[in-house]
Structure 1
C-alpha cells in the first residue's frame, strides 16, 4: 500500500511526533519532580490531600451514576420512537454540549438553576424561598449531568440502533411485553456499552476543572486540579502544587488502568439488512414523549438562557472594548495554531499503525508508542502539564513571553485523542479502498496526497480541525495557570468578568464564545448524522 519512500517518510514523521510529545510532557514532569522538596511525597497522604482526593472521586462517581442512569431511559425512548417530527433535531441537540465551552454552559446553568434563576423563581411562586442552591456539590452534579447525559444517551442510542431488525420482528411475533423486550433485547446491548461509557464519563468528571472552579463554592468542594490552580495563583506554593500534581497523576493513572480492564461491547449481531421497524413504539408513546421532552428542556434551557442574557447585554459597548478585541484575536490565533498542530501530530499517529499491520519492520513499537502518547494528556491533565512549564519558565523569568506557546501545545495535546478518533477509522477505510490501486498506478508521494488522499479525507480532516479549534477556543485550564494582563483569552476574560460581578459583560462574552464554538461543531455533527443515514 506504500512505496519504500512513503514508508520512510511516514516513519520519520511518526518518530518526530512521538519525540515531540514525550519531550514536551517529559520536561514538564521532570520539572515537577525536581521542584519537589525532600518531604513532599512524605506528606502526599495528609488529611488535606486525602479530603480533596476523596471529594474528586465522590463528585466524579456521583456524576457518572446520574448521567448513565438518566441516559438509559432517554436512549431507549429515542430508539423506540423513530419517526416523530423533530427527532433528528433532538439527536443533534444531544451533541451541542460537547462543543460548548464549560464556562459558557456554567453561566447558562446559573441563569436557570441559580439563586435568581428560572427554577427558583418558579419555586418561589409556589411558596418556596430559593430552595435550590447551584453552588457546591449540587451545582457540580447538575453541570456534569448537563454535559455527560447527552453524551451517554448519544452513545447508547447508537448501540440500540444497531440491533438487527429481525430481533424486533421476532419479539412482535412472540408477543413480548415492554419489560421482556428491555430485559432480553435492549439490556444486553446497554450492559455491554455501559462500562466504556461510564469509564469515559468518570475520567471526564475526575479531571473537570472549569465547572468545579466556578461552581465549587469554597474549600469544601475542591478537586485536585482546582487545588493546583489555587496553590499557584493565590497561595503561590509550588511545593504544594507539585504534591497535588503527583496525586492527580496517581488518580488519573488508576482510572485509566480501570478503564482498560473494563470489558468491550459484544460484536454486532448478523442481519439481512432489512429496515428497522419497532413494533413496540405505540405502547409507551406518552411516557417516551415525556422523557424526551424533559431531556430536551434540560439540555436546551441553559443554551437559551445564555442567548437571552447575552442579547440583553450592552453588545454595542462590548464591541468597542479593546480588551475584548485582544482576547478574541488571541483566542482565534491560539485555536487555529493548536488545531493545526494537533492535526500534524494526528496524521502520522494514525498512519504509522498501518505500516505495522503489513509487517513493516521496526514500526510496531513506534505505532504502540504513538497510540499511547496520543492519550498521554488523559494521564497527565492540561493543568498538570501547564504547572510544570509554569514552574520552569518562572525560574528563567519568561512566563508571560512563552505562555502562548505553551498553551498552544497543551491545547493541541488535549484535542489529540478526539482528533485521532475522528481520523483513524476514516484513514483506515480510505487506505483499504485506494492504497494498492494508487501504488499500482504509480500515483505516489505528493501526487497521491494531493489527488487521492486529500479529496477523500477532506471531510474528516475538516471535522477534526473544527472540533480541535472549538476545544482550544473554550479551554480555560491551561490559560488559568498563565493568565495575566498581557495574555488574555476569551475564556479567561469571561472568567474575570464573572469574578468581578460584571454579569452583563460576562453574558455578552459568553454569547460570543458560545456562538463561535457551536458554529465550529454543528457542521461536524450534521455531517456525522448524514453519513450515518447514508450508511443505513
Structure 2
C-alpha cells in the first residue's frame, strides 16, 4: 500500500467524528452510568456466580462449536457434490438469523413438548429439559457451528493444491495428510476462531434471557439487565460492565496473539484435488457428518415455517405495527453503521502507516467489548434532561444496533478499500481526483458489493436484536423481536410462531435486497 497522504480533507473530518462517536458510545456511556451511580458496591455471591457461569458457558459453547465444526469443514473441503455451494451459503444463515426466532425453533425441537421429547416418550423415556446451562450451550452451538465451519473451511481451502499433489506422489495415506498438512493448519486457525466465538458467547443476551432458567444460569450481560430493569442499581451495573469490558479486552488481545501463520506457503491457485478420499469408510463418514449438520441446522427453521405459516394470517395488528417499527429501526441502523464504517475505513487507508491505521480501525472494534445495555442506558442518562427515555426508545435502539454491527461492517469494507487504493490510487492522484470526486468516481462504484453486503448484514442483525428495546420500550414502541418475546412469555405460542416467521422473512429479505442491490450491474 502506498504510504502517502491523499488530499481528501472531508474524509479526515468524518473519520475523526466517527471515532469520537464510537468513544462516546462505549467509554462515554459507561462513564455516564458510573457518574450517575450513587456508589459502587462490592460484588455479591450472585454476581460471582454470574461471572463463573459466563466464563463456563462461553468455554463450553466455543469448545463444542469448534470441535463439531472441524469434521463438517473437513467433509466440505474434501468432497464435491451437487448442492455443495448452496450448502456452504446456507451455513451463513444462522449468523443473520434473529436470535429469538432461533430460540423458538430450538424450543420446538428440543423443548419439553418438542419433537425430541415426543420421540423419547414413544420409547418410555422422560422429556428433555432445555432451560439452564445445557439450553444456553445448545443455542450458542447452533449459532456458532456455521461460523466456525466457514472460518475453518477457509483454512482448509487455503492449503495449496501443490501440497496435496506432493503428498499423493509420496504415497501419504489419510493419517499422514492429517498429521503433515491438516493439523498444522488447524493449529494455526482454531485458537483464533475459538477466542472469537468465546467472545461472542460472553456477551450473549437474548439466548440467556430466554433459556437461562433462573439465578443458576445468569451471565454478566443478564445480570446487568437485571440491575437496570428490576433493581435500578446503576453502581452494580457499571461495575459488572467494567468487568465484562475488561474480560472482553483480554480475550481480544489473546485472540490477536494466538493468531499464527500456518506456514503452508504460496501455490499456483489450482483447484484442489484429493487422492486420499476414495476410501468408502471416509466417504460414509463425511456423508454422515453432513447429514447430521444439515438436520441440526435446518430442522428448527423448518418447524418454525410449518408452525408459523398458518398463524401469519391471524396475527393481531400490534404484531404488524411492531414489524413496521423494526424495519424502520433496521434501515436507520444500517445507514448509520455504513456511514461510521466507511468513514473510519477511509481515514485508516488515507493515513497509510500500518500502526496508525490499525489504531484507527481499533476504534471500530471497541463496541465488541461494550455491553449494549450499558450503551443504551448511558445514552438515556445523557438525554434524560431533554426528553423521556420511552419517547426515544426506537432511535436509541437504532444507534446501539449500528454500533454493535460496526465491527462486521468495518471488516467487510476495509480490505476492499485498501485494494482500491493499491490498484488505482496513484492513477487517481495523477488525474487530480480528490475529495468527493474521488469518492463518487473511483471508490463508491468499486465498493458496491461490500457496501451492499455490509448494509444487509447490519440491517438483518438490527432487525432481530432484542437488547436495549427490552429495557425502555413501552407497549406502543415495541419492535417485532420484543413483541414476539412477549407472546412467548404469555404462552401464545401459535402467534409467536407466526411472528417468528414474519421476523425471519423480513430479516432475510432486508439482507437479500441490500446484498443483491450491491451486486446488480457491479462490473467494476
Please classify the TM superposition score into its range, dividing by the shorter chain length. Answer: over 0.9
Verify: 1:171 aligned to 2:161, yes or no.
no
Task: Kindly indicate whether the alpha-carbon contact (under 8 Å) linking 2:329 and 2:398 is maintained by their aligned counterparts in 1.
Answer: yes
Q: CA separation of 1:368/1:86 partners in 2, compared to 1, >3 Å: closer, same or farther? A: closer
Comparing 244-253 with 224-233, greater Cα deviation is found at 244-253
- Name the structure 2 match of 1:50: 48
- Name the structure 1 match of 2:74: 76
- What is the CA–CA distance in structure 1 between the aligned matches of 2:511 and 2:263, rounded to whole Å? 30
Equivalent residue of 2:447, what SS?
helix
5+ residue gaps in structure 1?
none
Q: CA RMSD in A?
A: 2.5
- What is the CA–CA distance in structure 2 between the aligned matches of 1:200 and 1:239, rounded to whole Å? 29
Task: Kindly indicate whether the alpha-carbon contact (under 8 Å) linking 1:95 and 1:525 is maintained by their aligned counterparts in 2.
Answer: no
Cα displacement (A) at 1:233: 2.0
- Name the structure 2 match of 1:24: 25
Task: Kindly indicate whether the alpha-carbon contact (under 8 Å) linking 1:2 and 1:439 is maintained by their aligned counterparts in 2.
Answer: no
Task: Kindly indicate whether the alpha-carbon contact (under 8 Å) linking 2:4 and 2:352 is maintained by their aligned counterparts in 1.
Answer: no
Verify: 1:325 aligned to 2:320, yes or no.
yes
- Name the structure 2 match of 1:346: 341
Cα displacement (A) at 1:505: 1.0
- What is the CA–CA distance in structure 2 between the aligned matches of 1:371 and 1:135, rounded to whole Å? 39
Equivalent residue of 1:271, what SS?
coil
Task: Kindly indicate whether the alpha-carbon contact (under 8 Å) linking 1:123 and 1:129 is maintained by their aligned counterparts in 2.
Answer: yes
Task: Kindly indicate whether the alpha-carbon contact (under 8 Å) linking 1:390 and 1:482 is maintained by their aligned counterparts in 2.
Answer: no
- Name the structure 2 match of 1:108: 105
Cα displacement (A) at 1:522: 5.3
Q: State which of 166, 180, 183 in structure 2 corresponds to 1:187.
A: 183
Equivalent residue of 2:277, what SS?
coil
- What is the CA–CA distance in structure 2 between the aligned matches of 1:317 and 1:473, rounded to whole Å? 22
- What is the CA–CA distance in structure 1 between the aligned matches of 2:241 and 2:145, rounded to whole Å? 29
Cα displacement (A) at 1:394: 5.2
Q: CA separation of 1:62/1:101 partners in 2, compared to 1, >3 Å: closer, same or farther? A: same
Aligned residues: 518
Equivalent residue of 2:487, what SS?
helix
Task: Kindly indicate whether the alpha-carbon contact (under 8 Å) linking 1:22 and 1:373 is maintained by their aligned counterparts in 2.
Answer: yes
- What is the CA–CA distance in structure 1 between the aligned matches of 2:519 and 2:272, rounded to whole Å? 17
- Name the structure 2 match of 1:433: 423
Once the two structures are superposed, residues 320-366 of structure 1 have per-residue CA deviations (whole angstroms, 9 ceiling, x without a partner) of x332232122111111111111111111211112222269xxxx75x
Once the two structures are superposed, residues 174-210 of structure 1 have per-residue CA deviations (whole angstroms, 9 ceiling, x without a partner) of 2222122111111111110011100100000000100
Equivalent residue of 1:477, what SS?
coil
- What is the CA–CA distance in structure 1 between the aligned matches of 2:221 and 2:267, rounded to whole Å? 47
Cα displacement (A) at 1:30: 1.7
Q: CA separation of 1:391/1:21 partners in 2, compared to 1, >3 Å: closer, same or farther? A: same
Q: State which of 298, 304, 307 in structure 1 corresponds to 2:305.
A: 307
Cα displacement (A) at 1:529: 12
Aligned positions of 1:357-368 closer than 5 A: 357=352, 365=356, 367-368=357-358
- Name the structure 2 match of 1:14: 15
Cα displacement (A) at 1:431: 1.6
Q: TM-score, normalized by length of structure 2? A: 0.93
Task: Kindly indicate whether the alpha-carbon contact (under 8 Å) linking 1:112 and 1:118 is maintained by their aligned counterparts in 2.
Answer: yes
- Name the structure 1 match of 2:135: 139
- What is the CA–CA distance in structure 1 between the aligned matches of 2:347 and 2:273, rounded to whole Å? 42
- Name the structure 2 match of 1:196: 192
Cα displacement (A) at 1:88: 1.3
- What is the CA–CA distance in structure 1 between the aligned matches of 2:283 and 2:27, rounded to whole Å? 55
Task: Kindly indicate whether the alpha-carbon contact (under 8 Å) linking 2:9 and 2:435 is maintained by their aligned counterparts in 1.
Answer: no
Aligned positions of 1:437-448 closer than 5 A: 437-448=427-438
Cα displacement (A) at 1:101: 0.8
Once the two structures are superposed, residues 1-29 of structure 1 have per-residue CA deviations (whole angstroms, 9 ceiling, x without a partner) of 89988432211111111122223334311
Task: Kindly indicate whether the alpha-carbon contact (under 8 Å) linking 2:92 and 2:147 is maintained by their aligned counterparts in 1.
Answer: yes
5+ residue gaps in structure 2?
none
Task: Kindly indicate whether the alpha-carbon contact (under 8 Å) linking 1:400 and 1:486 is maintained by their aligned counterparts in 2.
Answer: no
Q: CA separation of 1:117/1:102 partners in 2, compared to 1, >3 Å: closer, same or farther? A: same
Once the two structures are superposed, residues 95-148 of structure 1 have per-residue CA deviations (whole angstroms, 9 ceiling, x without a partner) of 010110111000001111111111111121122121x21111111111011011
Q: CA separation of 1:336/1:521 partners in 2, compared to 1, >3 Å: closer, same or farther? A: closer
